[in-house]
Amino acid sequence: MNRMNRMNRFRMAVRMAIWGVLVIGILGLSPWDQAVVQAETRDPTTGQSTFYFPGEFEEQEAVWMGWPTYENKAGWSVKDLHVRLWAAMAPHVFVNVAVNPDDRGRGWKYRAQLAEIHALMKKYEVPKNRIRFLKIRHEDVWWRDMGPIYLVDGKGHRAVADFAFNGWGYEADDSEYARKEGSIDAQVARLEGIKEIRRTRMISEGGDREMNGKGTLIVVEAVEMQRNPGMSREQIESELKRVLGVKKIIWLKKGRYDDDQTFSGCLPDEDGKKNLYTAIATGGHIDEHVRFVGPNRILYTEISAEEARNDPVAAENKRRFEENLVLLKAATDQDGQPFELIPVPNAPTIIETLRPGDGVYDYLATNDLMIRRNRIPAGKPIKVILASSYLNFLITNGVVLAQSFWLEGRPEKWKTLDEQAMRILQAQFPDRKVIPFDAKAINIGGGGIHCNTQQVPKATRR
């Protein structure tokens, strides 16, 4: 009898699976919708999913970071910087750290990594009970882009949005690197027991998405279109709304000139000669120049006429940012309300040298797109523009982790810019402490503090 019941249940399951396939075919769902069968939480009245992306300024449970597997520039320690960031966050929020499991081929040993980490935690006085280590295979530290993107539903549940990833356009979609990094969000969801994974074949990175937590999203058109050449802007917008639960999207035209993808060509130096490389740049991520600091408040980068006269990179940035500002001034939020727009000074243009043996140099020298379109002279050092921005900060409970750029021996006007930017940030977050960091170890990799982190929003019942 039990055996007969099992057989009946099996036949019923087969019938349901066949009907599921037929329904997909009959309804003509898009290939992105077919990527996963979901069990979403839906509003019983409207039938719409209730999952949404909270603002970064809302309460968080934890912040994710990936333990580095290489240094962008020899002697500039990303590992030290990461642990210093943990020390600043730990009193306010848990820090989840992805550590690679044993990998004989790469020479990675989990226990050896933990020993190194604990030594640095002792050095920077990081409380052990606030740091959580998880075995997750990964190559890189840019967890804003390939890490888990969390949604919440107001009922105490979380979902993960799983976008495709192709290494910011530098990799083939099926390269080993793209596959490994693109699997991180699903790895995390499995570890955390999250059943709701909103998969999409569309490529998009967290660093190009600014959301106000109420239904409005800002993205950069040049980035999203470059990643998805086979999709129209309307298709991209529809998919972003479906996956992220947003109601309205504001499209800006371009991002920073010094964030143009490295394979697209060199940038001009102060004499106008195009001999400056960008450092694995993203093509214009939003978090380098426009940020939400509240549901209706936006910070944006402003460049002075003097800066534009003296620096051709700043001049092009000024043109782009002013075009974007026109769009922001005309834009409204999901409820039709205009935004409060607050200018922040432009960070200084910083030039450094990369050589063979530096992680970024070695990647660019061997990348197929670079070899075809902007080849590095064999074995020769290159001049690189750091990803310097005052807007690449992380907002978390109690603190804002910001970037500053003046160091002993650098121009005094940089110190003035740092002070001005920190005053503006502190005014926006009176209930949080703004802590500036020298983040050059990750800036020379093409990003900043925000790029290296990914928040886990608090999943609470309303």
Q: Report the domain count for the chain.
A: 2
* Tokens (6 digits) for 323: 């075009």
Confidence band of 41 (pLDDT split at 50, 70, 90): low
Q: For 160-179, how does the pLDDT look when each residue is reduced to its tens digit (9 = 90+)?
A: 999 999 999 999 999 999 99
Interatomic CA distance for residues 352 and 225, integer angstroms: 30
3-state secondary structure of 208: helix
Task: Kindly give, in sequence order, each residue whose CB lies less than 8 Å from that of residue 267, ignoring residues fewer than 6 positions away.
Answer: 257, 258, 260, 274, 276, 277, 278, 312, 313, 385
Q: Give yes or no for residue 49 having a pLDDT over 90.
A: no
Confidence band of 50 (pLDDT split at 50, 70, 90): confident
Q: For the residues of 215-229, what is the DSSP string, one character each?
A: SEEEEEHHHHHHH-T
Asked if residue 462 is part of any domain, the answer here is no
Q: Please indicate, yes or no, whether residues 105 and 126 belong to a single structural domain of this protein.
A: yes
Q: Please indicate, yes or no, whether residues 23 and 152 belong to a single structural domain of this protein.
A: no
Q: Please indicate, yes or no, whether residues 254 and 172 belong to a single structural domain of this protein.
A: yes
Q: Please indicate, yes or no, whether residues 136 and 102 belong to a single structural domain of this protein.
A: yes
Give the pairing type, strands 290-294 and 274-278.
unpaired
Residue 314's alpha-carbon distances to 61, 121, 275, in angstroms, are 38, 39, 16
Q: Please indicate, yes or no, whether residues 154 and 14 belong to a single structural domain of this protein.
A: no
Residue-level pLDDT at 42:
55
Q: Please indicate, yes or no, whether residues 12 and 42 belong to a single structural domain of this protein.
A: no
Instruction: Tell me which residue range forms the domain holding 1.
Output: 1-30
Q: Residue 83: give its domain's CATH number.
A: 3.75.10.10
Alpha-carbon dihedral sign for residues 263, 167, 294, 48: positive
Single-letter code of the amino acid located at 265: G
Of 164, 445, 448, nearest in space to 291 by CA:
448
Q: Please indicate, yes or no, whether residues 122 and 16 belong to a single structural domain of this protein.
A: no
Answering whether pTM is above 0.85, one says: yes
